[in-house]
Amino acid sequence: MLLAIDTSAGTAVAVVDLAGGILAEASSADTRLHAEVIGSLITEVMGGIEVTSLSGVAVGMGPGPFTGLRVGIAAANAFAQGAGRPVVRVGSHDAIAAGYYAAGGDGPLLVVTDARRREVYWSTYSGAGAEGIPVLEDGPSLAKPDDLPNLPGYHRLDAAEVPAGALGMLAETMYAEGRNFLGPAPLYLRSPDVTMPGAPKRVS
């Protein structure tokens, strides 16, 4: 079993099992309360599940805004360290695409999520490959809504949340298929709002 966490849009948490599917799932669509709800959502989905029964923690690495995304990544790292389990990292858009294909969708897909500042994140997929793993074609990238690529024949999916259940099942499938996971660098795609101050001005 895996605990799956994503905070690239709202806050979503799930417990999944490759054979048993999505065992528990909970989410909050509020994009401002990641830190306030992440603990209670983890407690809710864990329920009577023993931490020792988990094989690891899957976390969505974005794309997502800096402030929200880092909450989920920090929570996943802290939980995994406390449980003595590894962390596996998955693209959040990949999870959205995996959920779409698992629900019966097919063909080329354009995934779009809110990046704030009147911008969006986008990724394209050519379809579902082996065992339903989405085949990334382009992205993730950042753009103004009017600058999104014109892609005739692609189904456009504007997602307000990343389904943690789909993220966890994708991670389970990727592991079973021997696929590589993402590295530790989050997919912010732009610099954070807060920057380090410059050197103090000289006073003559």
Rounded to whole angstroms, the Cα distance separating 94 from 100 reads 10
DSSP3 helix / strand / coil % (the chain, rounded to 5): 30, 30, 40
Peptide bond just before 197 cis, omega within 30 deg: no
CA angle at 81 for the pair 77 and 86, rounded to the nearest 5°: 75
- Half-sphere exposure of 53 toward its Cβ, with a 13 Å CA cutoff? 10
E-strand spans in the chain?
2-6, 11-17, 21-28, 56-60, 87-90, 109-116, 119-128, 134-143, 155-158
> Does residue 37 lie in a domain region?
yes
- Three-state secondary structure call for residue 92: helix
Are 45 and 24 contacting, i.e. CB atoms less than 8 angstroms apart? yes
Cα 22 from chain centroid (whole Å): 16
> Does residue 18 lie in a domain region?
yes
Rounded to whole angstroms, the Cα distance separating 160 from 13 reads 15
> Does residue 190 lie in a domain region?
no
Q: What is the pLDDT of residue 199?
A: 61
Domain count, the chain: 1
Cα 138 from chain centroid (whole Å): 17
Tens-digit pLDDT string for the chain (204 aa): 999 999 999 999 999 999 999 999 999 998 889 999 999 999 999 998 999 999 999 999 999 999 899 999 999 999 999 999 999 999 999 999 999 999 999 999 999 999 999 999 999 999 998 789 999 999 999 999 999 999 999 999 999 999 999 999 999 999 999 999 999 999 999 865 545 455 666 665
> Does residue 197 lie in a domain region?
no
> Does residue 200 lie in a domain region?
no
Question: Which domain, by its residues, includes 42?
Answer: 2-176
Please give the single-letter amino acid code of residue 193.
D
> Does residue 202 lie in a domain region?
no
> Does residue 196 lie in a domain region?
no
Peptide bond just before 152 cis, omega within 30 deg: no
Burial level of 33, CB count in 10 A (0-12/13-18/19+)?
middle
Rounded to whole angstroms, the Cα distance separating 57 from 78 reads 10
Domain with residue 131: its CATH number is 3.30.420.40
> Does residue 60 lie in a domain region?
yes
Residues 44-96 have pLDDT tens digits of 999 989 999 999 999 999 999 998 999 999 999 999 999 999 999 999 999 99
